[in-house]
Homo-oligomer: A and B are copies of this chain.
Amino acid sequence: MGYPVVVHTVRHKQKLIARVRRVRGQIEAVERALEGAQSCEAVVRTIAAARGAINALAAEVLCDHLEDHLGAPRIPTKDRTAATTELAQVIRQFVR
């Protein structure tokens, strides 16, 4: 009966890969701003946008993990305990 969970995860993965590619596009925009000798203010604006996109990507990875491994129905207690421990560790590492 694992089928719905796997579909969920694949959909999440495609969404995350699309998102990381947009982040790469934003990093390329930073490079163009530096190459084009734009103002300090313009360059830092592109960097701030890329940073926001990276943080949002991290939030999505955490939330997908949460939904797939803790929010979904019929997860065995043992797996749920392991997922809780892993997610807590990842939150403590990233949020600082």
Contacts and interface: CB of A to CB of B under 8 A. Distances in A.
A30 B23 CA distance: 10
Given A93-B45, A94-B47, A57 B30 contact: yes
Contact of A71 (B50, B60, B80): B80
Given A44-B90, A70-B84, 18 more contacts: A30-B57, A40-B62, A40-B65, A41-B93, A44-B58, A45-B93, A47-B61, A51-B51, A55-B95, A56-B92, A59-B96, A62-B95, A66-B70, A66-B84, A67-B84, A71-B81, A71-B85, A95-B95
Interface of A: 13, 16-17, 20-21, 23-24, 27-28, 30-31, 34-35, 37, 39-41, 43-45, 47-48, 50-52, 54-63, 65-67, 70-71, 73, 77, 80-81, 84-96
